[in-house]
Amino acid sequence: MDENSQKQRDDYYATVIDSVGDGVIVVASSGLITLCNPAAEEITGFSRKQANGSVFEKLFAQEKTLLEMVSKTIRTGITISDHENVVVRSTGRITPVAATCYPLVEGSGENIGAILTLKDITYIRELEAAVRQSDRLSTLGTLAAGLAHEVKNPLGGIKGAAQLLEREFDPESEMLDYTRVMIRETERIDHIIRELLELASPRGLKMAPVNLHKVLGDILFLQKHAVAGREIAIIQQFDPSIPEIMADEEMLTRLFLNLICNAIDAMGEDGRLTVSSRVLSDYRMAQNERRSRMVAIEVSDDGPGIPQEDLENIWTPFFSTKSTGTGLGLTICHKIVLEHRGMIKAESDPGHGTKFTVLLPLVQ
């Protein structure tokens, strides 16, 4: 074979390896890395230049599972897979990966190294967490709805009796304070029950073009009055290019009202509430799925934040740290966002504030 066609063949193989979507790292039996494709660069955070020629054991000193897999494959010539326990930390963030290590065998049958493939499974892990979350919420929702039905009738009886009692007393009687408490509290329970029932029953969305900024602007306008007298700055950062989106306006109002009220509750006497919107043009809902354009709406405050251990519970019905909270607000938000085929997440830096991000599809 002449030099030219040898080069062409080398280029061809290099292109093949570079085009593989999974990370590929080849380690010679000497322990030196001889090949690292772009997907591997992205997962590990090491450039090809850094990786090629380095000692695998040194470069990946932190990743004990990978070290064991590679050294075992080189030693024994067997293929080893681990789809559960491997994470790569080199990039500064923790990437869960499915790793497989194949022996690199020459035509003569001699084992000359190992080929390590790494598949980024961040998306799968996120999906698993979302499914677990939805499962938990739907079980709880069904349970709560059953309970709500049972409570609704006796509650009506209590309220009716309290109203009758009220009429029996003299208008000046101190007893009226008690009946008012009874009526007010039954109304509160009734409100919780109605919310619960609504949460458990799938309500068809009334989709229509919605001007997001009008929805947000109206809520903020009303909240400005509510916080009058407190030192709370309300900042709007809207991207004017966002068109109307297909959504249920009433539901979106509930969603953002909940998030904004939570932020205001958290801040107390002073703080900064920022509501911003922007378009994420390249957001991928799923790997391999067609890229869909999403709108991101962020509601952030500089209140006390949410402790790490509470962060995963905030979506659970009845989780509340407020004396008068029902703890249904965020459960309802979660449901509304899912029904719109969007995503919602909370990030918090305890002591510095909280940011809720809602992603909604731009075109539905």
Residue from 141, 271, 329, 342 binding ligand ATP (CB under 6 A): 329
In angstroms, the CA 155 to CA 150 distance is 9
Burial 237-272 (b: 16+ CB within 10 A, else e): eeeeebeebebbbebbbbbbbbbbebbbebbeeebb
By CB under 6 A, residue 262 contacts ligand ATP: yes
By CB under 5 A, residue 329 contacts Mg ion: yes
Binding residues for ligand ATP, rule CB under 6 A, total: 19
Residue from 262, 277, 292, 354 binding Mg ion (CB under 5 A): 262
Which of 188, 191, 189, 169 lies closest to 179 in space, CA to CA? Answer: 169
To the nearest whole angstrom, how small is the minimum distance from the Cβ of residue 253 to Mg ion?
Answer: 14
Residue from 314, 343, 359, 360 binding ligand ATP (CB under 6 A): 314
By CB under 5 A, residue 331 contacts Mg ion: no
By CB under 6 A, residue 325 contacts ligand ATP: yes
Instruction: Please spell the DSSP secondary structure of 295-332, one letter per residue.
Output: EEEEEEE-SS---HHHHTTTTSTT---STT--S-HHHH
To the nearest whole angstrom, how small is the minimum distance from the Cβ of residue 249 to ligand ATP?
Answer: 20
The DSSP letter of residue 291 is P
Q: Are 95 and 43 in contact (CB under 8 A)?
A: yes
To the nearest whole angstrom, how small is the minimum distance from the Cβ of residue 258 to Mg ion?
Answer: 5
Which residue, 165 or 220, has its beta carbon nearer to ligand ATP? Answer: 220
Residue 116 sits at φ, ψ, to 5 deg, of: -105, 125
Residue from 73, 179, 223, 258 binding ligand ATP (CB under 6 A): 258
Which of 360, 356, 357 lies closest to 341 in space, CA to CA? Answer: 360
By CB under 6 A, residue 263 contacts ligand ATP: yes
CA 105 to centroid of chain Cα atoms: 43
Which residue, 85 or 321, has its beta carbon nearer to ligand ATP? Answer: 321
Which residues would be at the binding site for ligand ATP (CB under 6 A)?
258, 262-263, 266, 301, 303, 306, 314, 319-322, 325-330, 354
Which residues would be at the binding site for Mg ion (CB under 5 A)?
262, 329
